[in-house]
Amino acid sequence: MSTMHGMPARLAHRGGRLVVIGIFILNAGCASLISSAASGLAENLSLAILNQNDPEIVRDGAPAYLLLMDSFLVDSPDDPALLSAAAALYATYGTVFADDRVRAARLTSRAYDYSTRAICNSYRPSCSWSGMLFEDYLETLAGLGEKHADVVFSHGLASLAFIRAHSSDYAAIAQLPFSEALFERYLEINDGSDDGAINTYLGILNTLIPPALGGKVEKGKAHFELAISLSGGTDLSAKVEFASGYARLMYERELHDSLLQEVLAADPEAPGSTLLNVLAQRQARVLLDSADEYF
């Protein structure tokens, strides 16, 4: 029983990392679908953020970009690409940078609304997903194809942000299998360029719950290992999540410390990954400093 009561806190602790890994994947994909002016801005800003080595600059500058995306939606309220990009940004800011739970819940609710509208406008069967039985939901996923990849990713990302911000609600946690199935379908319909990051997501999803409660931790471990392999070991976020999700859950101290020491020894500066690597190194230090107390 005590483990169950601790599960929402565990989900909330890890949700920020999960969302921050994916926000920039979506923006790059959606940029090509938005109007030319918005497209160039979205793409260039995404690259600038990815290459930023000071997360505080991103935190302070993000609200202006949120307002800008809202302004684009005033003229195009049903544009799936704009809705998806806005959803991803709100999901990230609400999960990573919101300074209180009420604000986080409000921002991620907006992200979820945007993403729901985006996928409903792109794929009509999804308009009936709310309250649908899981078996019926799985059947609807078969109709998703490559043209739906961006909105699928957006909805999965926003759903997870929403779950994180509402982690005290077990009805929200019950939606995790739906998000996992959606990301697995995304792996089948995307172009393969971000498979490493998506495997990190799936690793996190499968290690949120202990084995005694139905968690598929060995499946999660396999996803983490694949994510690291696909990146050639340069994805520091995957190693941190492997340590915090699997190694801590299974009390494997040697694996835990080895992964985190590799992260801290790595050069965080890498085109397209600097911000994520800096964040990963910060979290690695926190995890290592608390390891003696945890294990």
Domain assignment present for 291: no
Output the pLDDT for position 209: 80
Output the pLDDT for position 42: 55
Domain assignment present for 240: no
Domain assignment present for 229: no
Alpha-carbon distances, residue 167 vs 10, 97, 128, 153, 161 (angstroms): 9, 17, 24, 21, 10
How many domains are there within the chain? 1
Residue 276 backbone dihedrals phi, psi, to 5 degrees: -65, -35
Output the pLDDT for position 46: 64
Domain assignment present for 40: yes
Residue 250 backbone dihedrals phi, psi, to 5 degrees: -95, 5
pLDDT < 70: residue spans in the chain: 1-46
Domain assignment present for 255: no
Instruction: Provide the domain limits for residue 31.
Output: 2-193
CB atoms within 10 A of CB 239: 25
Domain assignment present for 266: no
Output the pLDDT for position 129: 95
What is the pTM assigned to this prediction? 0.80
Output the pLDDT for position 45: 66
Domain assignment present for 188: yes
Output the pLDDT for position 24: 45
Alpha-carbon distances, residue 248 vs 69, 77, 217, 256, 289 (angstroms): 39, 44, 11, 7, 13
Domain assignment present for 60: yes
